[in-house]
């Protein structure tokens, strides 16, 4: 059996910076156990995983002291074809994983790294796709896949490489419960049948309860306790007190009373979208009301992001989508500022050089006579990003970028806010903070909020109207069915 060992590890992203992400860390993880590493967003969990993967090159402006050893080797010192046999990494953001244009070409690229003979590739690719239950995706372009489908393709890549260790950074953040359960079973199978060590980061324990041997908690200072415990050793309430979500403990038990009539702001009639010749959405009919929270559920690949892309103008649609009686298509310039969007990749939307300026830009557009810099400070303190105010938004973690994207749009004061997975990669405390901020805007100024989520408990606890996207159409879901 192997080990991942950190000894007196100190790390920061800028050699001349003042903030150490990790400081004097000692920790050992054993490949005989499936280990889940959890803790507050931004405490250094992903950094620790990246160091174990050997991703950060030496002498690249970072400050690193102490040692990192994976099965006795320094992963950063290995050549790529050697490292990929030692550690396989699944990132929070699937876009960071891929190099090629199609699923098949990506898998071929993996095998080329292992110098597999061409005549053996086809059979091995078929086996990996079958293992992940995605043979139907073989000819698809990566750009056309949903977040969950991309996660499955990433797993197929790792199955081909079959490294000694799987390092998983929020592997279920973009996917539905059924897909997460399938991936979990496959992780357990790789561990059980092939002896692959599994070290995973997650803020939710739902899917790990049946397979994880130990959970270890990192504190806000990036320190780990000497020992972990099985996921069932604490109650859901005890995990919640540590900022970790477990089944059976609600996000909130009461919600603000809604006032005023149900006034439709956005109405969809027979809306449909076709991508790459394939119909994704058809016959979508829905109303979204002022001062209400609307949650959209659905399996990975069901079309939630496609629906939001149609509303934002990314995709052409058939039928009608009317915002305050004005058709979106052909009138977007006139409707500018009335609708805001937080996508699955908020880094694509950033417009400023620093975190502080990103929020200040929205406040300047909002106007109102208040000092935008002072207002931006309050916003960043509320979302716990003030300490990062001078950094580029692109230097934030995925979870931090999502919080910044939501905060910037709230500061902009739009009438309808569409959020694709707004609580993605957040710990329980920050999930609640984001949803409370959104709920406050809905209640106090009548914001129409439309969000997608795979977290059914979150939808149950916050949403006034719940839809499920299935078979290309929206179906309203009664609360007792969640």
List pLDDT tens digits, range 328-366. 998 888 887 788 888 877 777 788 899 999 888 888 876
- CA dihedral sign, ordered 435, 441, 444, 449: negative
Average pLDDT over the chain reads 87
pLDDT at 251: 93
Residue 449 has pLDDT above 90, yes or no: yes
Antiparallel, parallel or unpaired: β 214-217 and 473-476: unpaired
CA distance 215 to 205: 9
Question: Residue 25 belongs to what H/E stretch?
Answer: strand 22-30
Q: Decide: helix, strand or coil at residue 177.
A: helix
pLDDT in tens, 41-61: 778 888 899 999 998 866 666
* 41 contacts 400 by C-beta, under 8 angstroms: yes
Question: Where residue 222 falls among pLDDT bands split at 50, 70, 90?
Answer: confident
What architecture is domain 265-481? 3-Layer(aba) Sandwich (3.40)
Residues of the chain with CATH 3.40.50.300: 3-241, 265-481
What is the assigned CATH class of domain 3-241? alpha beta
Read off the pLDDT of each residue in 5-34 and give the average, rounded to a whole number: 85
The vertex-115 CA angle with 110 and 117, nearest 5°, equals 105
Residue 133 has pLDDT above 90, yes or no: no
Question: Where residue 137 falls among pLDDT bands split at 50, 70, 90?
Answer: very high
Question: Where residue 172 falls among pLDDT bands split at 50, 70, 90?
Answer: confident
Q: Name residue 38's beta-bridge partners.
A: 217
pLDDT at 361: 86
pLDDT at 105: 94
pTM: 0.82
Residues 6+ apart with CB under 8 A from 189: none
Q: Decide: helix, strand or coil at residue 131.
A: helix
Instruction: Annotate 259-270 with b (16+ C-beta within 10 A) or e (fewer).
Output: eeeeeebbbbee
């Amino acid at each position: 059996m192997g080990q991942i060992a950190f000894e007196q590890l100190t790390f920061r992203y800028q050699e001349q910076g003042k903030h150490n992400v990790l400081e004097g860390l000692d920790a050992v993880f054993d490949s005989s156990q499936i280990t889940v590493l959890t803790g507050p967003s931004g405490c250094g969990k992903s950094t620790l995983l990246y160091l174990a993967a050997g991703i950060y090159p030496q002498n690249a402006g970072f400050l690193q002291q102490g040692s990192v050893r994976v099965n006795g080797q320094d992963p950063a010192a290995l050549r790529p074809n050697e490292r990929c046999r030692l550690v396989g990494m699944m990132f929070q953001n699937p876009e960071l994983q891929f190099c090629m244009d199609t699923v098949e070409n990506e898998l071929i690229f993996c095998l080329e790294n292992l110098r597999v003979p061409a005549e053996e590739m086809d059979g091995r690719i078929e086996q990996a796709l079958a293992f992940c239950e995605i043979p139907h995706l073989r000819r698809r372009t990566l750009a056309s896949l949903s977040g969950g489908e991309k996660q499955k393709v990433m797993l197929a890549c790792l199955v081909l490489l079959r490294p000694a260790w799987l390092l998983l950074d929020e592997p279920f953040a973009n996917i539905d419960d059924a897909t997460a359960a399938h991936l979990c079973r496959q992780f357990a199978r790789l561990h059980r049948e092939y002896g692959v060590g599994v070290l995973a980061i997650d803020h939710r324990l739902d899917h790990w309860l049946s397979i994880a041997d130990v959970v270890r908690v990192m504190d806000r200072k990036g320190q780990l306790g000497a020992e972990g415990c099985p996921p069932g050793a604490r109650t859901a309430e005890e995990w919640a007190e540590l900022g970790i979500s477990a089944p059976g403990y609600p996000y909130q038990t009461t919600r603000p009373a809604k006032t005023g009539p149900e006034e439709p702001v956005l109405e969809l009639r027979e809306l449909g979208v076709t991508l790459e010749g394939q119909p994704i959405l058809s016959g979508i009919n829905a109303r979204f009301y002022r001062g209400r929270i609307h949650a959209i559920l659905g399996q990975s690949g069901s079309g939630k992001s496609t629906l939001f892309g149609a509303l934002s103008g990314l995709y052409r649609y058939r039928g009608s989508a009317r915002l305050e009686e004005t058709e979106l298509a052909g009138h977007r310039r006139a409707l500018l500022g009335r609708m805001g969007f937080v996508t699955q990749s908020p880094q694509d939307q950033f417009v400023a050089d620093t975190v502080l300026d990103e929020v200040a830009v929205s406040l300047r557009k909002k106007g109102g006579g208040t000092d935008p810099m002072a207002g931006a400070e309050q916003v960043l303190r509320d979302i716990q990003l003030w300490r990062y105010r001078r950094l580029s938004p692109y230097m934030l973690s995925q979870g931090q970028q999502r919080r910044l994207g939501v905060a910037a749009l709230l500061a902009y004061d739009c009438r309808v806010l569409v959020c694709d997975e707004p609580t993605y990669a957040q710990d329980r405390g920050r999930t609640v903070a984001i949803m409370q901020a959104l709920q406050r805007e809905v209640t106090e100024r009548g914001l129409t909020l439309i969000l997608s989520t795979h977290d059914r408990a979150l939808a149950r606890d916050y949403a006034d109207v719940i839809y499920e996207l299935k078979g290309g159409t929206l179906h309203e879901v009664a609360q007792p069915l969640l």
